Structures are given as structure tokens and as C-alpha cells.
A and B are shown apart, each in its own frame.
Chain A
Amino acid sequence: MSAQKFPALLLGAALAFLTAFFLIPMTVVLVASLQDKAGGLSIAQYARVLADSYHLAVVLTTFRISIFTTLLCVALAYPLAWYLVRIVRWRWWRRACVILLVIPLFTSNIVRSFGWIVLLGRNGLVNDAAVALGLADRPMRILGTETAILVGMVYVLLPLAVLGIGNALLKVDRALESASDDLGATPLRTFLHITFPLTLPGVVASAVMVFTLATSAYVTPALLSGGRVTVLSMLIFQQYSATFDFSFGGALSIVLLALTLILVGVASRFGKVRT
């Protein structure tokens, strides 16, 4: 059943709701971002974001952490995905691994980060192990560094990357690999020339998704930063909970929003990644 007219009755509620509680609030933020201290129209707030060295450093820190998170996620996710899709033979074990993979996704980010607070603290397991193995003379400060945030972010986003890359691997037509073998290629060459390129769109899509989530993440950096590292989302939070500078907060928000939209646009070029 299809009709040319707009199904207003069916869409009305959802559209009204999202307009009221998504579009309009975002517009309010946009408008606020275009106001300077005097209340007039200007892009002074955006200048503050990009021109001020401290704010720029925050943006760069956010990017830096996100890029490393993405690289590490993909580097770890590919082998794990390969293992689950290509190596594991027992269905029950694969299912168990997937369940283990998904459980963290269903726990709050606080809980997941909290685990790392315990592990990375001065009395945590990591320091204990480092001292015991002789890698360090005394407990190091790990929490409150970019490394800690990196560890936490990779942890939080890894399952999504594994699922995304795993799905890309599943879609590879095994007949193509058989053809490659048949034509005399070694398994390594088959992987490099056939399999990996075929998974590339899915890998890139997963990478972009991880990067997007990493740049907009709030909880994990906030908890693992120890007050010493600031990322963009934390800066935004400050404007709305402490400084109450909604104009500047708006500019920061729009910058983050624009960045995310660009990334989403790029990702959709590489096809959907279904988790």
C-alpha cells in the first residue's frame, strides 16, 4: 500500500516530539552560540573556541585521543573478529564470546570506567604487576593521563568495532578466496589482496563510528582524567553546569555537532555498519 500523500497521522506524533525536544533545542543552542557577551549577533564565541590556545589545545587533545583510540580499536578488533568468525569452530564458544563481548555494552560507561579506576590506580593491579615484574621501581601515576583515557575509551568502544568488522568479514564471499587459492596464491597473499580489501569498507565504517563516539564521549574521559586532562565534551559540560556560559557552550556544542555530522556523512559513504 503506498500513497503519494504525506502520512501525517502516522508521523505526526514522532515528528512533533522530535521537533519540540530535538530540533528546537538545537536551534536554541545555535542561536545562543551566535551571541556575544553584549547579546548581539556575532561569531565571537567561535573565535574563542578556535583562537584561544587553551581551547584549541582541548580540541587537539580530543582529536589526539580519538585517533589513537580508533587505531588501537581497529588493530585489536580485527584479530578478535577474525578469531570469532574464521577460527572458532564450536558454535557455543563463539556464542559465549559474543555474549562476553556484548555484556559490557549493556553496562553503564561509569561502571566500565570504574573498573579501570581500580585497575590503574596507584594500588591497582597494573601498578602491582609492573612493580612485581620489575618494570617500575614504584607505582606510577597512570590515572589522570591521556593514556588512562585511551585505555578506557578503547575498552568501551572495542565491542562495537569487533561487531562491525566481524560483520564485514562475514560478508566476504568465500568463493573469491577459494578462487584465489585455486589460482596459486598463498594464504597470506589471498588475505592481503582479496580478503582485507573486501572488508575495507566495513573496517573504515567501524573506524569512523569509533572515532565519532570517541570525540563525543563524556563519561569515560571525565572519570579517567583525574582533573588533569580536558576533552571537548568535558568543556561543554562545564559551560552548562559550572560557568553557565551558554553562548560559549553553544559554540563548543555546534563545533562538536558539526564535526560529528561530517564524520557521519563520511561513514555513510562506506555503507551501514550494523551492530
Chain B
Amino acid sequence: MIRRFFVTLIALLTLAYLVLPLVVILGSSVTTTPFLSFPPQGASLKWYATMLHEPGYVSAYATSTMLATSATALAMLLAVPAAIALARYEYAGKRSVHALLSAPMVLPHIVLAAALLQFGGSFGLVRNFPSLLVGHVVIVMPFILQSVMPLFTSGQLALEEASADLGATRLETFFLVTLPQIRPGLVAGAVIAFITSWINVEMSIFNTTAELNTIPVKLFNYVQYTIDPTIAAVSGATIVAAAIAILVLDLSIGLGMLDETP
């Protein structure tokens, strides 16, 4: 039917629109020319090699990864007990607590970063790894919280009660029953947290230095002045990494987005 055709057409064009820039970046990253060109002239991976040999990029990759890893780990340590406190207890002010813990997810990152700069700057928490870590933990913790909380269902509560009924202490119940059950949410949340931290610019931009840099900030600074195939290669690498991450996630846990309800 005609309407279906038009909707499909728009949809596919939109999909093309979504894919186009990524294709352009990947394409121009393999050009043999020393300037950016799309379609690429020739095909070569030399710009990827250049990127891997430049210590600035390598250390930025390392910093980004270390930052994302530690931010995710710290966020998990903070968020999991908080999730239990929100899901299993009743007390005054619970909604405010939940709002506070979720707030960084909806508020402008540039504002959060500026606030941390002003606050941290007054006692030396600037331009070092801890200053980066703190900002990243603040913005990724809500993702872990949001990912884990739905798993505290009434069925899960019954399991925890059964565990207590059978003689397990609260700690034993947490490690033997709760943790294995919330693991899918924990993993999904950790992945989202990791990626969110890795690609984030705003929370890093005030605290990076020449020696302590993240890939997104490095890219951001570079791109404003010049664009060349090396930058395309760096960007291409992140696209490939994102694609792999998504595929792994979907194949293992299943993204479960827009799936038809059975």
C-alpha cells in the first residue's frame, strides 16, 4: 500500500542519514592521501598505524580506558548498596534520595563540570586523575542504579526472604542470592557506564592537561583547528570499538530494544 511505501522510504532514508557520517569517517580514514578525502583515494591502514605510534594517542587511549574502568567500578560500589536501600526499604525522604541519585543523568554536563571545576579548584582537585574520576563517577552512577533497580522485583524479594528463612545472614543472602540474580542488570549498567565515561567530553574538558588527556578531549581540541586522516583513523577506531561492543552486548545479553512483546 502506498502509505507503507512512503513510510518505509522515509525510514530507510533516515537510517541512511544515521549511518552516513560513520561511513564517511571510516572511509576517509583509509585514504592514501595525506589530506582528508571522501570518497577515499586508495585504501591503506597507515593512518591507524600512525595513531598507534604516537605516544600522545596511546597514552590518551590508556587514560580514557583507565578512567572509564575506575569510574565504572567506583560507581558500582556506590550504586548497588543504594539500589538495595531504595528497593527494599521504606523511609521518609526516599523519593528525594532517588531523585538526587538520578539527577546527574538529566542535568547539563557542562554545568556539572563547571561546578566541579570551581569547587575542586579551590582545594586542588583539578587537572589530575582524581578530579576526572570524580566527575565521571557522578554522571555514570545513575546508569548503574537505573539498570539494577528494575531487577529488585517481588520475585527477587521472595528469593531473599527464602534465603533468610533458611538461615542465611543478610550478607550471605546478598552474595549468594542477590548478586547472582542482579548480575545481568549489573553487567548492562556497567557497559553503559563504561561507554558513557569513555566517550564523554564535558566532564573531562576542564581537567585534562598535555600529559593527562582523554581521546574525546584530544579529538575535540584537534578537530577545531584541522582535520586530517589521522583524526579520521582515531575516530574510526572508536566507531569500530562501539560496533564490537554493541554486537557483543546484543549477542550475549540481548539489547532487547524495540522487541515485540511476546
A residues sitting closer than 8 Å to B (CB atoms) are: 1-7, 9-11, 13-15, 17-18, 21-26, 28-29, 32, 76-77, 79-85, 87, 94-95, 97-104, 106-119, 124-125, 155, 158-159, 163, 166-167, 170, 187-188, 212, 215-216, 218-219, 222-223, 233, 236-237, 239-241, 246, 249-250, 253, 256-257, 260-261, 264, 275
A23:B100 contact, CB within 8 angstroms? yes
B100:A216 contact, CB within 8 angstroms? no
* One of B20-28, B42-50, B53-61, B180-188 contacting the partner: B20-28
A180 to chain B, nearest CB (A): 16
Taking A6-B93, A7-B85 as known contacts, 16 extra A-B pairs with beta carbons closer than 8 A to each other, sorted by chain A number, are: A5-B91, A6-B92, A18-B138, A25-B120, A29-B111, A29-B115, A76-B10, A98-B258, A107-B239, A111-B219, A111-B235, A114-B235, A115-B22, A155-B21, A158-B18, A237-B110
B227:A118 contact, CB within 8 angstroms? yes
Neighbouring B residues of A237 by C-beta, 8 Å: 110, 114, 205
B179 contacts chain A at the CB level, 8 A cutoff: no
* Docked CA distance A38–B195 (Å): 44
Q: List 27 A-B contacts (CB under 8 A).
A: A3-B91, A7-B84, A11-B82, A13-B77, A13-B81, A18-B141, A32-B118, A80-B10, A83-B8, A98-B257, A103-B242, A106-B195, A108-B219, A111-B239, A114-B227, A119-B38, A155-B21, A158-B17, A159-B18, A170-B258, A216-B110, A218-B202, A219-B201, A222-B220, A236-B111, A241-B206, A253-B114
* Docked CA distance A87–B4 (Å): 8
Q: How would residues 159 to 179 of chain B score, 1 for a CB under 8 Å from any chain A CB and 0 otherwise? A: 011001000000000000000
Q: How would residues 76 to 107 of chain B score, 1 for a CB under 8 Å from any chain A CB and 0 otherwise? A: 01110110110011111100010011011011
With A100-B19, A219-B220 as contacts: A170 and B260 at CB distance below 8 Å: yes
B252 contacts chain A at the CB level, 8 A cutoff: no
Neighbouring A residues of B260 by C-beta, 8 Å: 85, 170
* Docked CA distance A103–B249 (Å): 11
B152 to chain A, nearest CB (A): 11
A13:B116 contact, CB within 8 angstroms? no
B114:A249 contact, CB within 8 angstroms? yes
* Docked CA distance A109–B22 (Å): 12
Neighbouring B residues of A110 by C-beta, 8 Å: 201, 216, 219-220, 223, 235
B11 contacts chain A at the CB level, 8 A cutoff: yes
B118:A260 contact, CB within 8 angstroms? no
B223:A223 contact, CB within 8 angstroms? yes
Neighbouring B residues of A223 by C-beta, 8 Å: 220, 223-224
B31 to chain A, nearest CB (A): 11
Q: Which A residue sits closest to B214, measured CB to CB?
A: A108
Neighbouring A residues of B134 by C-beta, 8 Å: 21
Neighbouring A residues of B24 by C-beta, 8 Å: 115, 118-119, 125
* Docked CA distance A222–B205 (Å): 13
B85:A216 contact, CB within 8 angstroms? no
Give the contacting residue for B107; candidates A17, A119, A257; CB below 8 A: A257
B11:A102 contact, CB within 8 angstroms? no
Q: Which A residue sits closest to B192, measured CB to CB?
A: A106
B7 contacts chain A at the CB level, 8 A cutoff: yes
A18:B100 contact, CB within 8 angstroms? yes
3 closest A-B pairs by beta carbon, nearest first, are: A115-B21, A216-B108, A83-B11
* Docked CA distance A240–B77 (Å): 31
Neighbouring A residues of B253 by C-beta, 8 Å: none
With A13-B77, A110-B201, A114-B227 as contacts: A82 and B110 at CB distance below 8 Å: no
Give the contacting residue for A14; candidates B3, B19, B81; CB below 8 A: B81
Q: How would residues 221 to 258 of chain B score, 1 for a CB under 8 Å from any chain A CB and 0 otherwise? A: 00110010001100100110011011100100001011
Q: Which B residue sits closest to A257, measured CB to CB?
A: B111
A25:B118 contact, CB within 8 angstroms? yes
B66 contacts chain A at the CB level, 8 A cutoff: no
A94 to chain B, nearest CB (A): 7
A17:B137 contact, CB within 8 angstroms? yes
With A76-B14, A218-B202 as contacts: A111 and B111 at CB distance below 8 Å: no
With A79-B7, A114-B219 as contacts: A14 and B201 at CB distance below 8 Å: no
B154 contacts chain A at the CB level, 8 A cutoff: no
B130 to chain A, nearest CB (A): 10
A143 to chain B, nearest CB (A): 11
A274 to chain B, nearest CB (A): 9
Neighbouring B residues of A99 by C-beta, 8 Å: 243, 246-247, 250, 255
Neighbouring B residues of A77 by C-beta, 8 Å: 14
Give the contacting residue for A79; candidates B11, B116, B160, B220; CB below 8 A: B11
A103:B243 contact, CB within 8 angstroms? yes
B35 to chain A, nearest CB (A): 9
A256:B108 contact, CB within 8 angstroms? yes
